[in-house]
Structure 1
Amino acid sequence: MKKNDAATAGGERRMRPPLATPTDLKAETTRDIAAAMNGILADVYALYLKTKNFHWHMSGPHFRDYHLLLDEQAVELFAMTDPIAERIRKLGQATLKSIGHIARTQRVLDNDAAYVEPGDMLAELGDDNRQLVSRLREAHNVCDEGGDIASASLIETWIDESEQRAWFLFEAGRRGDSTGH
């Protein structure tokens, strides 16, 4: 039997799609989870690039602190990408394939402005991370409904990390008074 062939109960052979990794989850479930996770993957790549953009273009009296903070956060975001994509593949589904695919799928808005004030950078990234938390919770619900405990468990960690990024950005952007912004 060839690698791509699968025997059926009657002994006949049928071709299995090359990416169809075996799983005990229903096909519809894996498609729904993969769609949710590909949306997360696109958002994480978009947020990673925006974070690096702001890291590269940071200026002002808090340059060093903000520059290092954004670099740390970008590393954390990039570290999420491979586990997300590999989880999608473990479900037998296809991942994002190109920058264009990311652009068509992402919900994080790009910022191509020539100059952004440092405080505005922090606030925008904080908002983006809070939106990512919301989308991660939505993806978690899809996983829960489909019985995908493994994906849900990964998402829980990413929710915590995203909440921490949002918190750090909020605190770093405070003006020094007890009321915040």
Structure 2
Amino acid sequence: MAKKNGSTVGINIGINEKDRKKIADGLSRLLADSYTLYLKTHNFHWNVTGPQFQTLHVMFEGQYTELATAVDLIAERIRSLGVAAPGTYKEFAKLTSIAEPVGVPSANEMIEQLVEGQEAVVRTARSIFPLVEKAGDEVSADLLTQRMQLHEKTAWMLRSLLE
């Protein structure tokens, strides 16, 4: 329940509170993975070197820019469900499935780690789908579908650089 001018205004969007909380918990994991991948990609943008520098520098910038928009959409969906969105490094570290890099990897190692990160986001999004389908949460289902489509395509493009 949300407070407005001292009165209680309930959320009545056709999804019960228990299901909204479960979906928000899943979306919080997706948010943590997306934000961790954003940080990793931005880090690699700053620190990439080698013959593919220009290509990777520009590609990574496009990827982290897209992720910056995505984390906002995911957090806003969590809020729409009536749950506070996680927003600290400490919370994200507990929730994410993506490992932080150690040191500055080579360009190829960066690409490999980003493929793994993109695919981790897809797995997290996919794991939430049964909850949103059962609850009839088409809005979250649409968000998850869009995220999976984008991350699968990005993983494919990154993987292609390693062939």
Fold similarity call, TM over 0.5: yes
Identify the match of residue 123 of structure 2 among 134, 157, 161: 134
Which amino acid is 1:152 matched to? A
Residue 157 of structure 1 corresponds to: 146
DSSP 3-state at the match of 1:23: coil
Displaced runs of 4 or more, over 6 A: none
Matching residue of 2:17: 27
Map residues 1-181 of structure 1 onto 2, 5 A cutoff: 3-6=5-8, 21-113=11-103, 115-174=104-163
The answer as to whether partners of 1:22 and 1:92 remain within 8 angstroms in 2 is: no
Letter of the 2:139 partner, please give it.
A
Segments of structure 1 that go 5 or more residues without pairing to the other structure are 7-15, 175-181
Alpha-carbon distance in 2 for matches of 1:99, 1:21:
29
Unaligned runs of 5+ in 2: none
Structure 1 length-normalised TM: 0.83
How far apart in 2 are the matches of 1:172 and 1:68?
Answer: 14
Count of aligned positions? 160
Preserved CA contact (<8 Å) 1:41 1:84: yes
Compare CA radii of gyration and give the structure with the larger one. Answer: 1
Post-superposition offset of 1:21: 3.9
Q: Which has the higher helix share?
A: 2
Counterpart-to-counterpart distance in 2, 1:170 and 1:161? 14
TM-score (norm 2): 0.92
The 8 Å contact of residues 97 and 120 in structure 2, kept in 1 or not, is answered as: no
Post-superposition offset of 1:98:
1.7
**Which has the higher relative contact order, 1 or 2, with Cα contacts under 8 A spaced 6 or more apart?**
2
Percentage identity across aligned positions? 29
What secondary structure does 1:107 align onto?
A: coil
Tell me the equivalent position of 1:178: none
